[in-house]
Amino acid sequence: MPLALEDFRRDMEGCSRCSSCKWIPLSQIRSKRFSQVCPSISKFKFHAYSGSGKLNTGLSIIDGRSEFDEAAADIFYKCTMCGGCDVGCKVYRNDIDLTDTFAEARARAVELGHAPIELLMLVENMNAENNVFGEPKDARADWEAETGVELLDANAEQVDILLHVGCRLAYDTALRPEIAAAARILQKTGLKVGTSKTAESCCGFRAYESGFKSELAKFSDDMVNRVKSCGAKMVAVACSDCFGAFNYVYPKNGRALPVPVRHIAEIADEMAGGAGRETAKTAAAVSIRPADAGRGGETRTRKVTYHDPCNLGRKGQDFTGQYEGNKLDRPDEMRRAGQGGRYDEPRRLIESIPGVELVEMERIREYSWCCGAGGGCYESQEEFSLETAKERIEEAIATGADTLVTSCPWCVNNFNLAIEAMETGAIEVVGISQFIEEAFS
Amino acid sequence: MIIPADALADLRAALSAERVADDPHILDSYAAQPFHKVEPGVWVHRPIAVAMPENTEEVIELVKICNKYKLRYKAISTGWGAQGGAGFDNVVQVDLRHMDRILEIDVENRTIVVEPYVTCAQIQAELMPLGLNLHIHGAGSNCSPLASATSHMGMGFSSISMGYAPRNIMGVEWVLPTGDLLQVGSIGSGAGWISPDGPGPSLRGILRGWAGADGGFGIFTKCALKLYPWAGPSEVNVTGTGMDHLDVEIPENNSFHLCVFKDMESYGRALYDLAHAEIGYIQAKVAPGLALAISQFDRFKLTRDNENLRKMVGGFSHQFFICLQGNSTEHFDYQVHVLESIVEKNGGSMLDISQVMGTPPGAMWWMLVRNSLAPAMFRPTGNFYSTLGGDESIASALRQDIEGEKLKEGFIAEGACEDDFGDNAHTLLYENGLFAHTEELLLFDHRNREQGEKLKDLSDTVMREIPEKLLGGGGFSFFAGGYAHDYLGPQMDNYHLWQRRIKTAFDPDDLSDSKYFINSEGAELAEH
């Protein structure tokens, strides 16, 4: 049954204003500088912009104390929907779901016509061209020809793995090496790997997250049909937003894909033997060239830090069902508190590469700082989105790393924009697939 | 009620338009304060504006504008609780979030100067690499130590070695209710932040007293605090986040113990022995029902609903947690030996908490050192209330514990609060001495209207119990505001008359929101 803002009354009333939503978990604070987790309150300062404040705002509206007008919508849209507040809160609370509440508030904003114009345009783009950018749908598979990667046509033949490319990786030419590397890693499995070529559509995540809930049906139906018709036994993604859509949003809305969904980092990690494997095995399994190729016997030390994308990390846990009772009694495994995120797989990959030292930032795993691109902020809150990314770059540079690796093309793009704006050459950003491949080159 | 246009314009001119809001949604986010709220429900008064100054000069300007237009004002920093919100209809909420700097750390003299929005966790993280630590008050490390030291109570798990928050003050910068600036302590005579009592004005008692004015007596913009040694690593290696999932290795020369005694008498004697022995870094009783409820909620429910398990857990009522820290192995070994002797002498036992509660000792140790436990009080039911307690001699505090339990049993029987096995007195020692803090904690859900209604007279009930049963202190009924002072004052040397005169002298128009302090006009007692 579809939920509405009123269904989250207990969540909104339950906030005790302890402000745990503003900080990384207290037990993990290692410095004042990097102690905050919420980009929204960090930027806009008034309490209304915190996780707690948004709950207060929602309650004020359903209590009839204030109208759901554009000012209210502005509070809900100046948020990357990263879920950092949820993790901070759920260290202590079983019974409050912040981002789920915000999602319903955004849906109400859409109903009332208060969504930002940029997000309306995004939905128009999706409906017209099947992608968030409004680029021609016929150009969706151009990356294959441009990179020389040849994958099977899943529209025409049966495949084992359907690679869902996603809008950012399909159209962003700067990310060609990332999607090409991901595809080549999949081909190393020896299985039949295909894509839907120009028939592929957006996963629908951006629209859903922006409050256009009804848009999900079209995109999810299309995806389910394509998966079924190509006979894939697995859907592979290299984008964490697509991962979050397929693994959490679809099943939450009763539209689960009929096969497992795996991120490229998970697949590569498994190919390399998963936890407890030996370093050399990674090289043999996922690299295009052997580990010692081109090295001339020298060991080069590269300091790398890893950024956890929200939808692969804290929001990356599998959907475990909608709890119907009093959430004070909700079992731990049914809380979305970041416990099921894919944190170890990319780290194992990075650490197992010879000559690479993984140095961690202070805010990692479920209490990672967001890249700023999510929640429709990349499209509608440009300055906020960029500042959020800059904050992460500063944290990455503080580790002494020369490379920032991440597993989401949206994060890569936003970080690169931040680096450009900061005019710093201190660090470069690389997607996980490209990094694995290049590391052995 | 809306702010007069001229006043709003003046505030925006003084601060900037971006840092002064009158949008109802933003205002309401400051009006949702369900914790320690005397009336049922979530909402306190909606402020007429929210202003966010960036520095002391802006605070002064802001307060003068409020005086000019006869508007009340109320400062808030990290605060959670109704006392942080507006107590009346015409209040400008002063959000100090922009004032979040650590201004100075003096390692040699062990002092730190901070602004209002710096939290204890942030400070502790910066201090540990310097071999220093700070007292973290009961509200937890998510909160401002300035707010506690200047304005609200001040006990904490570290009180046994680091005292009561206001006693750690080494100087205060205070914007008086009229907008004048006063520097309290040696800073007031240009001698730096080295002493709270001079050379220069010494007004520590005036500016806050025992309970604090809760924002009803001007705005504190800077504060110097005394620091304490930390004989642990620069950074504690912690993995995991949730209460149930923390993994921490207790560092060398540090330890965590759970000491259990068979009855109140032997427990009390052990507390006296502990105080005389002058050992311990962190210490508190956290009643077993509460400890289970906040850290192992499933086990708590299982125990609550099983008569035999309840009885078994009831056997752990007379206990305390204690963390020892030695500056050397010898110092540490000495403390362990002394603690073992105290427990043995009083017929107690030292238990492994991982076997009793399932919580690893390292996790519990770190949660106490960092004081990351406080928000967990909301976990079992959504809210709690603290009542019938105070700072008294150990014997008097334990007597309050007994009365508190009786009072609480009544509320549990009525269904006014959660059945957490009744025993919930939270008791700790101060400064390796014979003074103790105690309070009775009630778990309830403010979303449950029935519970809210049944608890609304709690403060009044406690207020009456104190003189009737000849208990010391105010039993936290001060949270009820002015009329509680008028009730308790005549029984406590008429302190309320003096306090009211002081408030009137400093704040003749009663503009610094005194809902949770004392107003300058007089009693509202008749209404209650």
Q: For the range B499-503, what are the long-range contacts, defined as Cβ-Cβ under 8 Å and sequence gap of 24 or more? A: B499/B209, B502/B206, B503/B216, B503/B217
B286 and B423 assigned to the same domain: yes
Show Cβ contacts of residue A108 under 8 Å, excluding neighbours closer than 6 positions.
A4, A5, A61, A68, A211
What is the rounded average pLDDT for all residues in chain A? 93
Residues of chain B with C-beta less than 8 angstroms from the C-beta of A329: 301
Q: What are φ and ψ of residue B350, in 5° steps?
A: -105, 120
Q: How far is B453 from chain A (nearest CA, A)?
A: 16
Does A421 touch chain B if contact means CB atoms closer than 8 Å?
A: no
Mutation target among B19, B26, B89, B137 for the A interface, most CBs of A within 10 A? B26
Q: Are A43 and A142 contained in the same domain?
A: no
Q: Distance, in angstroms, between A125 CA and closest chain B CA?
A: 32
Contacts of A35 in chain B (CB under 8 A): 119, 121-122, 125
State the ipTM, two decimals: 0.96
For residue A437, what are its two tokens?
A: 């491949």
A347 CA: distance to closest CA in chain B (Å): 15
- Distance between alpha carbon B153 and the CA centroid of its chain, in Å? 5
In this prediction, residue B525 carries a pLDDT of 46
Q: In terms of domains, do A243 and A386 share one?
A: no
Interface contact flag, A59 B80, Cβ < 8 Å: no
Closest Cβ–Cβ partner in B32, B367, B445 for A59: B32
Which tokens go with A2? 């579809």
Domain count for chain A: 3
- The beta-carbon neighbor of B30 closest among A29, A47, A59 is A47
Cβ neighbours of residue B137 closer than 8 Å, sequence gap 6 or more: B120, B143, B145, B148, B149, B153, B154, B155, B156, B165, B371
Mutating which of A18, A42, A93 best tests the B interface, going by the most B Cβ atoms within 10 A?
A: A18
- pLDDT-derived band at A81 (thresholds 50, 70, 90) equals very high
Query: What's at B516, amino acid-wise?
Result: Y
> In sequence order, what DSSP letters do the residues of A36-68 get, joined into one string?
B--HHHHHH-SGGGSHHHHHHHHHHHHTTSS--
pLDDT of B245: 79
Token duo for residue B117: 């929005």
Residue A171 is assigned to a structural domain of this protein: yes
Q: Which of A74-78, A156-160, A188-192, A273-277 has the lowest mean pLDDT?
A: A273-277
Q: Cβ of A47 and B26 within 8 Å?
A: yes
| One domain, residues B372 and B290 | yes
B79 and B57 housed in the same domain: yes
Is A324 domain-assigned?
A: no
Instruction: Measure the CA–CA gap between A160 and B242, rounded to whole angstroms.
Output: 39
Residue B81 within any structural domain of the chain: yes
Alpha carbon distance A18, B138 (integer Å): 13
Q: What is the pLDDT of residue A2?
A: 57
User: Cβ of A18 under 8 Å from any chain B Cβ?
Assistant: yes
Task: Give A304-323 pLDDT, tens digit per residue.
Answer: 999 999 999 999 999 989 89
Look at residue A33 in the predicted model and tell me its pLDDT.
98
Judgement on whether residues B130 and B148 belong to the same structural domain of the protein: yes
Do A155 and A266 lie in one domain? The reply is yes
Q: Are residues B376 and B421 in the same domain?
A: yes
Residue among B24, B78, B367 whose CB faces A27 most closely: B367
Please indicate, yes or no, if residue B241 is contained in any of the structural domains: no
Q: Among B229, B259, B294, identify where a domain stops.
A: B229
Angle between helix A432-439 and A264-271 (nearest 10): 30
Q: Report CA-CA distances (Å) from B340 to B261, B283, B327, B334.
A: 13, 15, 19, 10
Assigned token pair, B132: 């220093």
* CATH number, residue A158: 3.40.50
Domain annotation covers residue A14: yes
Q: How many CB atoms lie within 10 A of CB A206?
A: 29
Same domain? B351 vs B398? yes
Give the list of residues 6+ apart from residue B197 with CB closer than 8 angstroms, or none.
Answer: B185, B204
CA dihedral B388, B394, B395, B401 (to 10 degrees): 30
Statement to judge: residues B51 and B174 lie in one domain: no
CA distance B123 to chain A (A): 7
Is A382 in contact with A117 (CB distance < 8 Å)? no
Q: Are residues A267 and A279 in the same domain?
A: no
Please give, rounded to a whole number of angstroms, the shortest distance from the CA of B265 to a CA of chain A.
Answer: 34
Residues 337-356 of chain A with CB under 8 A from chain B are 337-339
**Residues making up chain A, counted from first to last:** 441
Residues spanned by the domain of A81 = 5-111
Count of structural domains, chain B: 4
Would you call B238 and A27 a contact, using CB atoms and an 8 Å cutoff?
yes
CB contact under 8 A, B34 and A30: no
Asked if residue B476 is part of any domain, the answer here is no
In a domain, B243, yes or no: no
Optimal mutation site among B15, B28, B77, B157, interface A, most CBs of chain A within 10 A: B28
Partners of residue B248 in chain A, C-beta under 8 Å: 27
Q: Which of B25, B122, B243 sits opposite A75 (nearest CB)?
A: B25
User: Residue A289 — pLDDT band, cuts 50, 70, 90?
Assistant: very low
The dihedral region occupied by A400, where left means phi > 0, alpha psi between -120 and 50, and beta the remainder, is left
- Whether residues A75 and A33 share a domain: the answer is yes
| Domain of residue B74, CATH code | 3.30.43.10
Task: Identify whether B251 is preceded by a cis peptide bond (ω within 30 of 0).
Answer: no
Pick the residue of A33, A69, A91 with the most B CBs within 10 A to test the interface with B by mutation. A91
pLDDT tens digits for chain B (528 residues)? 899 999 999 999 999 999 999 999 999 999 999 998 877 889 999 999 999 999 999 999 999 999 999 999 999 999 889 999 999 999 999 999 999 999 999 999 999 999 999 999 999 999 999 999 999 999 999 999 999 999 998 999 999 999 999 999 999 999 999 999 999 999 999 999 999 998 888 888 899 888 899 999 999 999 999 999 999 999 999 998 877 778 899 999 999 999 999 999 999 999 999 999 999 999 999 888 888 888 878 888 888 889 999 888 888 899 999 999 999 999 999 999 999 999 999 999 998 777 777 778 899 999 999 999 999 999 999 999 887 778 889 999 998 888 888 888 899 999 999 998 888 788 999 999 999 999 888 999 999 989 988 887 787 788 777 777 777 666 666 666 777 888 888 888 888 888 899 999 999 999 999 998 988 766 454 444
Are B302 and B221 part of one and the same domain?
no
Identify whether B451 is part of a domain: yes
Is the predicted pLDDT of residue A291 greater than 50, yes or no? no
Lowest mean pLDDT among A64-73, A340-349, B462-471: B462-471
What is the spatial distance between Cα A244 and Cα A164, in angstroms, rounded to a whole number?
A: 13
Q: Are residues A172 and A234 in the same domain?
A: yes
Q: Is A337 within the bounds of a domain? A: no
User: CB contact, 8 Å: A17 with chain B?
Assistant: yes
A-chain residues near B95 (CB < 8 A): 45-47
Domain-embedded: residue B464: yes
Q: Are residues A292 and A406 in the same domain?
A: yes
Optimal mutation site among A24, A26, A308, interface B, most CBs of chain B within 10 A: A26
Look up the domain containing B489 and give its range. Answer: 481-527
A53: closest chain B residue by CA: B29
Record: contact B375-A16, CB cut-off 8 A:
yes
- What pLDDT band is residue A300 in, cutting at 50, 70 and 90? low
Q: Are residues A100 and A249 in the same domain?
A: no
Distance CA B111, CA B470 (A): 40
Domain boundary among B69, B95, B121: B95
Inter-chain contact B28–A65, Cβ cutoff 8 Å?
A: yes
Same domain flag for B321 and B187:
no
Q: How far does A386 lie from chain B, in Å, by closest CA?
A: 20
Is the pLDDT at A296 greater than 50, yes or no? no
Cβ-based contacts of A337 with chain B (< 8 Å): 241-242
Residue listed under structure tokens 């007292």:
B135
For residue A75, list chain B residues with Cβ-Cβ distance below 8 A. Answer: 25-26
CATH number, position B349: 3.40.462.10
Q: Is A39 on the interface with B (CB under 8 A)?
A: no
- Quick one: A359 and A262 in the same domain? no
Torsion angle (degrees, nearest 10) of CA A280, A282, A287, A291: -20
Residue B453 C-alpha from the chain's centroid? 25
* Same domain? A304 vs A418: yes
Q: Does A326 touch chain B (CB under 8 A)?
A: no
- CATH assignment of the domain containing B212: 3.30.465.10
Size of interface A-B (CB pairs under 8 A): 167
Q: Which residue has the higher pLDDT, A431 or A337?
A: A431
Average pLDDT over residues A53-78: 98
Query: Using the beta-carbon criterion (under 8 Å), do A18 and B80 form an inter-chain contact?
Result: yes
Burial of B88 (0-12, 13-18, 19+ CB in 10 A): middle
Residue A322 lies in a domain: no
pLDDT the model gives residue B478: 65
| Gap between the terminal Cα atoms of chain B | 26
Distance CA A91, CA A86 (A): 9
CB contact under 8 A, A59 and B42: yes
Q: Within a domain: residue A330? A: no
Out of A111, A142, A166, a domain closes at: A111
Q: Which of A111, A141, A172 is the last residue of a domain?
A: A111
Q: Which residue of A has its CA nearest to B449?
A: A13
Q: Give A324-328's long-range contacts (Cβ < 8 A, gap of 24+).
A: A326/A95, A327/A10, A327/A11, A327/A94, A327/A95, A327/A96, A327/A97, A328/A94, A328/A95, A328/B380, A328/B381, A328/B382, A328/B445
| pLDDT higher than threshold 50 for residue A89 | yes
B304 and B262 fall within a common domain: yes
Instruction: DSSP letter for B85, please.
Output: S
| Spatial distance between the Cα atoms of B284 and B292, rounded to a whole number of angstroms | 15
Residue A150: CB partners within 8 Å, gap ≥ 6? A144
**B434 domain residue, yes or no:** yes
Q: Are residues B217 and B187 in the same domain?
A: yes
Are residues B378 and B443 part of one domain?
yes
| Per-residue pLDDT, A282 | 56
Q: In the listed set A220, A254, A271, which residue is the last one of a domain according to the structure?
A: A271
In a domain, B175, yes or no: yes
Taking CB atoms and an 8 Å limit, are B123 and A27 in contact across chains? no
A363 Cα distance to chain centroid = 16
CB proximity under 8 Å: A 233-292 to B: none
Assess if residue A146 is contained within a domain. yes
Residues A105 and A165 in one domain: no
Classify residue A95: in a domain, yes or no: yes
Over residues A80-101, mean pLDDT: 96
Q: Which of A16, A28, A338 sits opposite B35 (nearest CB)?
A: A16
Helix ranges restricted to H, B217-257 = none
Interface of A with B in 49-108 (CB under 8 A): 50, 52-53, 55-57, 59-61, 63, 65-67, 71-72, 75, 87, 90-95
Same domain as A263, residue A282: no
